[in-house]
Structures are given as structure tokens and as C-alpha cells.
Amino acid sequence: MPNQSRPPRSVPLARRIGAWVTWWVLLMSFWIILDDSVAPDELLAGAGAAALAALLAEFAGYQAAARLRMRVEWLASAPQLPTQVARDTVTIFAALWRRLAHGAEPHSGFRELPVRYGDDSMAGQTRRALLVGGRSIAPNAFVLGIDRQRDVMVIHQLVVNEGEAAE
């Protein structure tokens, strides 16, 4: 039986170290935010946990041959995410209240949002993953996919917002 393992990939060590450092900074930041302490023992525990998690994340990415190509301008709308999550949470709880108190079924539906599909490079795949993740993080909408031919993102909204037509 022929060897069906993947051919070896040559990823420069500097790139792998850079990915590990990026993961470590991100995970350590989450630790500090969640732990809400800057005590030395807490920071050391967080640094160790973040280092181990970063090592596992980089190893998993290497094994899957997944390479992210990020551009800073893609993160320009990230500061709007907490507001979007808060707004959608209020929308969902209002619909839940109307359902429980009055038996009113919320109007849900599908929508198409114009987006550029882009190419199939690593940068294009990363951009699409950020589009899908960023749009799906708020509780009122979930991305079903991006249509390559029509350059639209198909989403399902649990509660169609006023002024937004379901398609």
C-alpha cells in the first residue's frame, strides 16, 4: 500500500515563531481580560497557559497546513462588534419576551448581503473566514455561506430587524 501521508511542508521557522508569538499575545490578552488581575502569580500562570495553548494552536495549524494571511484593514470594523452583539442581544430578548408574554412568533428570514468573494489565495480564505465569523458572532444572525457567482453572503436572522426585508 503506498504511503498516503502528506508531503513535508517547508514553513520558515521565523514564520512559525511569529505565529506562536501572535497566538501567545492574543491568548495572554484574553487571560488578563478574563482573570482581571495583574498579580505576579496570576500573570505567570496566564503566561504559562497561553504559551502551551499557543504551542498547540501553532502545531494544529501546521499539521492542517492552514496559513492565515491577515491584513490590518480587515479589522477596521472589529470595534463595532461589541455594539452589534449588545444590540442583537436586546433584539433576541425582546423577541423572547414577546413570545413568552403574548405568544407572538418573531419574523425570521434569510437575507443576502453584498460581499466580494475574492480569490482562493490564503489571504482570500482568511478574509472570508473573518467575514463569516464577524457576521455570525452576534446572536441574531448566522452566515450560511458566501455565493461565489453572485458575490453575496446568505445569512439567517432569527428576528428580521425593522426596515430590513427578508429575502
What rounded mean pLDDT belongs to the chain? 86
Instruction: Give me the residues paired with residue 22 across strands.
Output: none
Return the pLDDT at 14.
86
In whole angstroms, what is the distance from residue 54 CA to residue 107 CA? 42
| pLDDT confidence tier of residue 7, bands split at 50, 70 and 90 | very low
In whole angstroms, what is the distance from residue 92 CA to residue 37 CA? 33
Q: How many helices (H) and strands (E) does the chain have?
A: 4, 3
Residue whose C-alpha is closest to residue 72's, from 11, 138, 123 = 123
How confident is the model over 78-122, as pLDDT tens digits? Answer: 888 889 999 999 999 999 999 999 999 999 999 999 999 988 888
Residues in Cβ contact with 56 at an 8 Å cutoff, skipping those fewer than 6 apart: none
Return the pLDDT at 35.
86
Q: Which helix H or strand E contains 41, and what residues bound it?
A: helix 40-63
Percent of the chain with pLDDT over 70: 89
In single-letter form, the type of residue at position 17 comes to I
How confident is the model over 28-85, as pLDDT tens digits? Answer: 988 888 888 889 999 999 999 999 999 998 888 888 777 667 777 877 888 888 899 9
How confident is the model over 155-166, as pLDDT tens digits? Answer: 999 999 765 554
Per-residue CA distances from 60 to 4, 30, 74 (Å): 19, 20, 24
Return the pLDDT at 164.
57
- Check the CA dihedral 156-158-164-167 and report its sign: positive
In whole angstroms, what is the distance from residue 74 CA to residue 124 CA? 11
Q: ∠144-146-152 over CA atoms, to 5°?
A: 110
CB 108 within 8 Å of CB 161? no
What ranges do the domains of the chain cover?
A: 13-67, 73-157
